[in-house]
Amino acid sequence: MFAKILIANRGEIACRVIRTARKLGVRTVAVYSDADAKSLHVEMADEAVHIGASPVGESYLRGDKIIAAALATGAGAIHPGYGFLSENPDFVDQVVAAGLTFIGPSAASIRAMGLKDAAKRLMEKAGVPVVPGYHGEAQEIVLLASKAREIGYPVLIKARAGGGGKGMRRVEQPDDFSEALSGARREAKAAFGDDRVLVEKYVDKPRHIEVQVFGDVFGNVVHLYERDCSAQRRHQKVIEEAPAPGMTEALREAMTDAAVKAAKAINYSGAGTIEFIVDASQGLKADRFWFMEMNTRLQVEHPVTEMITGINLVEWQLRVASGERLPKAQSEITFAGHAFEARVYAEDAAKGFLPATGTLHHLKFPETSPDGATLRVETGVRAGDAVSPYYDPMIAKLVVHAKDRPTALEALGEVLARTEIAGSTVNTAFLAALAADPDFAAGDVDTGLIERHRETLTAVPPPDGEIVAAAALAASGAQAPPSDDPWSALAGYAHFHSVARRTHLSHGEIEIAARVTVRPDGRFGVTLEAPYESTNSHDFRAVPRCARWPGHITVFEGAVGYTFAVPDPLARSDEAQAGSGSLRAPMPGLVKLVRVAVGDAVTKGQPLLILEAMKMEHTIVAPHDGVIADIAMEGAQVTDGTVLVGFLEEPVA
């Protein structure tokens, strides 16, 4: 086993590798860019090396800097994670030339599967079924159009290099072929530097089912069963599961046998995934699946396989790369139960899943597993970390495992409902809606399901009165006693009537005003005013699930986070009182410090006193030039509306 390894990646996968390496007694070296200087994976590793500026081309794609860091720190091997350089055969060659071990397949294996057309020709020779289509070298438009007619429409034009749905076009009829080909080529050229394509039969109801394979340098290859990754948006996976719903024994046997053949055909060593497209229009049948491509690395969704098999795939990677044989033979590998993985992203589902950025001011995952299930959270961020525009906006992977699919799916919904994230737009509501979708729940899923149900899955109802009232309560600074907050100290006391506080907030373009009272029995009452009816009253025994962050309140209702903007009450007070003869307290609080005295001439903007409220100090400034006629005493406890400062009626010239 290696004494020390370098992890040429970041985020949750870097953290994942570090945890397993630590378990095996292997020291770790992290690499980081400017944007990741204070990231979790840097904190977790035994050592860390800065490799460049934030853009990936200046850091995580700089193989020379990564190899230099490994040599300088005495690491014996490099784990690539996924993405970045993980499937770059030239990088593998450079690692080996430097006398280091690449924790993954050989450069030859990666090259064999690197181009879709060549890989499919290789798979045909190995007896692995491939989608009917044209995978040749010639790229003349006349030839490609002719092949499309032979295959039969609809067809799919696909870039021969890369992945992620780039350079891909579905064509319904011959008249559309030329324009679709041009678009696919432009996109492929921009993304991969290669505009060559292949043309395949379009499968009407495609399922994306993949098989986890593992090989060693002694020629042994095993499979660890299948995963279903059909739930995709923009050709990218969002919820994966294992095993595949509706899988028959005949199809599983045929598919896993084909996957092992594919891996053996290229002398594969390490973790890999054989991806198949399955025609589910007539159910899952053993003669209706075809090889799509191979990912010559660890997959993002590998935890679902680990959960059902009990096998640590990263541990296997380290053992095999260090020269050990596969830890188990095929007959020793079994699976039990069902697992789901949901990818939590900073993205706006309602706006076409556009990536989002922001600071994760509040980040809270469930601390306990749902009844009858096991929860696993894979993340590379903490509360206070920023979602950078430079990298993939994944925040976490929520993984659940239970005895069967219905139980696991129910657990996934519960976990999503208990996850709290504030500071960036996230997709938890979309994931929860997908998990609850009747077709998905029934296992009737294909790669087009999300697009067909997109409007329903991405729709978020506006906040109802109860949610708005909860936000107003949170914005008021109310807390359940005991607390040293001046507002909380008022709970339970009322002289003739309940103490009240006015609060203002907004949701989108809607301006909201509310009045919050603390009743003698400790309950909170919230009356919504503008733009609601004054009779719209709500009672709370405690402050609901919410997060307060700079200038905002986020209220959590299930998997949905409703965010309200909260204006600075002091700024609002200053604006409202700029022309008046007095300054009133915008909220209950304690006069902490008085900086002027009666008779002092003051100028606009001059600090007059400090009011401590809601556990923060607020400086009260003069709204205009004038002379102090009256001012609150230092140490005085004041309520909402109490006069803090009075001015002489005639301001100083």
- Among all residues, which ones are annotated catalytic? 297
d(CA 274, CA 54): 33
Of 611, 616, 615, nearest to 584 by C-alpha is: 611
Which ranges in 299-361 belong to alpha helices (H)?
302-309, 313-321
Q: 388: which residues sit within 8 A by CB, 6+ positions away?
A: 35, 36, 54, 357
3-class state of residue 89 by DSSP: helix
- Parallel/antiparallel/unpaired status of strands 47-52 and 27-33: parallel
Residue type, 367: E
3-class state of residue 493 by DSSP: coil
Of 374, 354, 349, nearest to 451 by C-alpha is: 349
Q: HSE of 475 in the Cβ direction (CA atoms, 13 Å)?
A: 32
Q: Give 3-state DSSP helix, strand, coil % of the chain, rounded to 5.
A: 30, 30, 40
Give the CA dihedral 200, 204, 207, 213, nearest 10 degrees: -20
- Parallel/antiparallel/unpaired status of strands 77-79 and 101-102: parallel
Beta bridge partner(s), residue 647: 628
Q: 89: which residues sit within 8 A by CB, 6+ positions away?
A: 107, 108, 110, 111, 114
**Where do we find the tokens 């025609």?**
279
Q: HSE of 298 in the Cβ direction (CA atoms, 13 Å)?
A: 24
- Parallel/antiparallel/unpaired status of strands 524-528 and 510-518: antiparallel
d(CA 516, CA 299): 51
The sign of the CA dihedral 436, 439, 445, 446 is negative
